[in-house]
Amino acid sequence: MEKKARVLIDCDDEKGLVYKISKVFYDRDLNIDSNREFVDKEEGKFFMRSVVIGAFEVNELKQALQEITPKNAHLKVIVPRRKKIVILATKESHALGDILIRHEAGELDADIEAVIANHDVLEQLVRRFDIPFFYVPTEGLTREEHEEHMAMVIDAQEFDYIVLAKYMRILTSSFVSRYPKQIINIHHSFLPAFIGANPYKQAHERGVKIIGATAHFVTDDLDEGPIIAQDVIPVNHRLEWRDMQRAGRDVEKIVLSRALNFVLNDRVFVHGNKTIVF
């Protein structure tokens, strides 16, 4: 029976890879629906994402690819299925709301399993959409204890990715390392400018003429994970920092949703501190 797979290959570059890989597809009579490659020449790395259609057996296909690629190759043969996400939020609704509306419209390739927040102000909005909302208060808890509570609620869900939709608490290394390459954040700044707290105030004080937002995977280093998407808007002297913040929200939500879409469609490779987005 015909089916579709997204084949993701990430390995050391060597001569003949495209030929050998496409031969595997050809030998199985698979149709290539789309195909993109990239070679990072500085690092000698090969990246390829093919969408193939045909009658194949996932493990057999994967093994065939393994045989013709270098030993350290990362190979994925993904039969597209609806993914699941968990959203972490705090008080602001613009990024969360944008995802909720897309979800409602059937335009998000994922189910929202739960929204988990360290404040309760977003509860009503989330409940309007019949999505489970969990309030994990911070009072009386150390950062580590609160994260432990968060993790308990998170781990009780089934999920592929954790989306920080303006979750305004800094995460510890130990929390982050539980979910490697699974946490996507929207940083309210054009990274690497204005790392840290209140970037709009920083941007205003610096007198910049453009502000932006950055969606990235979260790694140990705060604000330093691999960037998935960025965008900007022009500003001028007439905006106070709260106006910048307001203007910035539109960029934030669009950039986060765009990045999330890339990730849900398996279009993102993470390589060191960078991404390749096909």
| Catalytic residue positions, numbered | 223
Nearest approach in angstroms of CB 144 to a second copy is 30
**Would you say 129 or 135 has its CB closer to a second copy?**
129
* Cβ(99)–Cβ(163) below 8 Å: yes
Question: What is the C-alpha radius of gyration for the chain, rounded to an integer number of angstroms?
Answer: 21
* Cβ(83)–Cβ(109) below 8 Å: yes
Q: Which residue has the tokens 């270098």?
A: 70
Q: Would you state the structure tokens that stand for residue 246, as one six-digit string?
A: 């307001």
Nearest approach in angstroms of CB 143 to a second copy is 27
Q: How many CA atoms lie within 13 A of 129 on its CB side?
A: 23
Nearest approach in angstroms of CB 20 to a second copy is 8
Contact residues toward a second copy (CB under 8 A) are 15-16, 18-20, 22-23, 25-26, 29, 31-42, 92-94, 97-98, 100-102, 104-105, 107, 125, 128-129, 190-194, 205-210, 212, 226-232, 234, 236-238, 240, 246, 250, 254, 257-258, 273-277
Burial of 145 (0-12, 13-18, 19+ CB in 10 A): exposed
**Would you say 82 or 128 has its CB closer to a second copy?**
128
CA angle, 104 then 110 then 113, to 5°: 85
Q: Which of 271, 263, 272, 273 is nearest to 109 (CA)?
A: 263
CA angle, 165 then 223 then 187, to 5°: 35
Nearest approach in angstroms of CB 151 to a second copy is 28
Show the DSSP H helices in the chain as ranges: 17-27, 58-68, 94-104, 123-128, 143-155, 173-176, 199-206, 241-264
Nearest approach in angstroms of CB 181 to a second copy is 14
Burial of 173 (0-12, 13-18, 19+ CB in 10 A): exposed
**Would you say 62 or 94 has its CB closer to a second copy?**
94
d(CA 23, CA 105): 40
Nearest approach in angstroms of CB 250 to a second copy is 5
